[in-house]
A and B are shown apart, each in its own frame.
Chain A
């Protein structure tokens, strides 16, 4: 008689669900590609892809590069793209002058990423884009679908999203559209850090405190500010997050300029 196995642990259960999602998309959607923003979330997502496909990532990995990331992040990219054998595609972004001038300054700067991605989708014909967003980051992301269809120019019609239940995702992509796939949508910030720790997933050192400050969320250098923290390693970061009452993206300027700034960004194809 086999031993009774205890109920699945929370991280195992999240991992299994994310692998299921990644495999569904890989099987059903032509020309998928995975976004790698070099932060902890998308690195965890890349790790999950390697779990899903037994040590490889069988589609291109896109870094939509604003050119304004921290030097540590570029070094991180070069090292692990090689170590993990990634088919890395560095996607350039248009100049800020080419972006909708009615957006507040930081949002306008962030919108370069969405524009760069749109151009890459058009140029390479990707039909599916994996993005490492999470529901608990931000209210509009909380409303996302795991498989989220995008129309012309990557428009997100959040008012009329398809129903999604019993893990029967919208895996058919209508002509002229592409699909955003969100494998770690259900994860929390703490879940990600606990998983990073358990698996030993490499992350950029900027997440850990140096002289009383650390980055909790990594964006462009000019629109991301560090938070006051003494958390110098993963265990300390986890302990800090278990106590905190401040939002993860508090240091991301574009989220706070106007009530609807982030909603506008996302409706227009931002991740």
Chain B
């Protein structure tokens, strides 16, 4: 394995440039550095130097290196870089694309544009001013955007007399902050961009410095490799039927594929074999790998739509309609709970709603706080929900399919990365069904069962926080119904886990499976003519929706409402105390979300009404809705 890796590095195209974004506080000398580097490495075309010279002379000022990159009239007047501009240069046998990103806070959106196009970052810090809030914010964004490779330049050393102690203090400070956001800089280099000190060679002014010059430090950076080794992800971009062929077009974001592979489309869950890789003016081929824009034909005429993700059957992406995300907000108006946006993840575009803002992170000290809204340029952790299933990966598993943007009024307003912590993959639950099973028809009809029982069958699905009173109400209602001659039975969380679900734990996936089984069993009870009452927190809408589908029209969602503080005050099983102490992970309401029903059939509030009143309300509902069908309807 080791040998092969070395070969592939050796085989890298020597002409592949390194894309380096230069970031840092406004006026910490980024543009000057880029201009000066161009000059020092002999990359500056003579006409550009002459043009800038003439320009400076006209303005009666010294030669200004920053003017080389700050090409716009507007910029020259204001003295700040307006947009991420790119400059090519070459040293040490490699090409570099320097992406000069603006430092101004309001220009953050352009900086993001520059950063994500990069392999690595050069963070500039002004030796005379120190590590500013903006330097920290930019470093934090680097980690959020997944740019790990970083070199730090402590600039303007000329202004602090090339002082070793000043440099050491700044180096310790910036290394400390970067470590806290998970970045280890390759080098921290003292320089003076204006005078050209330590850019390409060691300088007498800083005899105490033993590290590499800036260009030597940059030479150690590597282009980001293609994601060949990750599972196959090929988002469908388009389907062409120009001739008799039906060609699926898209770019392989990760992994590789070969003719004959069995491919899976998500979220539609269709499958077919790869028949051919189509080309024009290129040799015919049987394999392709990440980074390539390809055209594929399949062995079966299944319908394929833009936005689906092609994978291998064995390693599919996750399917879900709810996930956590860490995002940076660029919108002029704040992001709010309940806000609607279009989410674009690779080629998919779906409407989403912000279900929750979990916390807003302050990049200057990484502290986080609960907030009702996310202001422009802030970073936040949120829960997003879409109506339909999405195929995606957690960012930690696959950066290409684990990131997204939000669009509002044509414009991107946020970029974010996905975490699936606390949320189950819904694919297996929805699609893994036993095959070769044919439904056997009962000879006793619903009408006959209803006629004998004197009432309809159905599910009373109680949902609410732990401590809201679900079990108490369920037991009370069961008893009252039984006394009135109803066939009634309670499925309770703790009881079901002793037998039917004794093999399940409390992970997100196991919880989802727990609820799925309860939903199926409740549906059988309802089918048998019972009023089946379930008492489960069942915090996720998607889980309850599945139970609703299982019960086929005999599902009644009852929201047992009580504020978190009230439930925590009751704490009948001592669970909240243990959750607060960190002994229970992913506890609903504390460290895991509760998604209230959107349109419950009945709401009972145990904080404002007595148990007796709530039971009465449920009884009245049952008597109204479970009466046998009138004859002839």
Contact = CB atoms under 8 A, between A and B. Distances in A.
Interface of A: 2, 4-10, 12-13, 15-17, 19-20, 23-24, 26-27, 47, 50-56, 58, 135-136, 139-140, 142-143, 145, 158-159, 161-166, 168, 170, 172-174, 188, 199, 244-247, 250, 259-260, 263
Contacts of A6: 7-8, 11-12
B interface, over-half SS: mixed
Contact of B405 (A12, A51, A165, A247): A165
A19 B13 CA distance: 20
Contacts, number: 163
Best-surrounded residue of B240, B293, B410 (most CB of chain A within 10 A)? B293
A6 B47 CA distance: 39
Contacts of A53: 240, 242
Contacts of A9: 13, 16
Contacts of B245: 54
Contacts of A173: 410
Interface stretch (B109-117, B122-130, B614-622): B109-117
Given A7-B8, A9-B13, A259-B73, A165 B293 contact: no
Contact of B412 (A20, A55, A143, A170): A170
Contacts of A15: 293
Contacts of B72: 139-140, 143, 158, 263
Nearest to B81: A143
B281 A8 contact: no
B373 interface: no
A186 to B, nearest CB: 8
Best-surrounded residue of A6, A140, A161, A260 (most CB of chain B within 10 A)? A6
27 contacts: A2-B256, A2-B258, A4-B228, A5-B228, A8-B226, A8-B289, A12-B292, A16-B292, A50-B281, A52-B293, A54-B240, A54-B278, A54-B295, A55-B280, A55-B281, A136-B88, A139-B85, A142-B85, A145-B113, A162-B412, A164-B113, A165-B112, A166-B405, A170-B411, A174-B410, A199-B281, A246-B47
Interface string B131-168: 00000000000000000000000000000000000000
A245 B49 CA distance: 11
Contacts of B15: 10
Nearest to A185: B86
B249 interface: yes
Given A27-B237, A54-B242, A142-B71, A5 B109 contact: no
B85 A4 contact: no
Contacts of A135: 86
Given A19-B293, A170-B412, A163 B330 contact: yes
B291 interface: yes
Interface magnitude class on chain B: 35 or more
B113 A7 contact: no
B530 to A, nearest CB: 51
Contacts of A27: 237-238, 306
B17 interface: yes
B45 interface: yes
Contact of B280 (A5, A54, A166): A54
Contacts of A50: 280-281
A249 B17 CA distance: 23
Nearest to A190: B15
Interface in B279-301: 279-282, 287, 289, 291-293, 295
Best-surrounded residue of B83, B112, B256 (most CB of chain A within 10 A)? B83
**Closest 6 A-B residue pairs measured CB to CB?**
A139-B71, A6-B11, A165-B116, A19-B293, A163-B109, A9-B13
B293 A5 contact: no
Contacts of B82: 143, 158-159
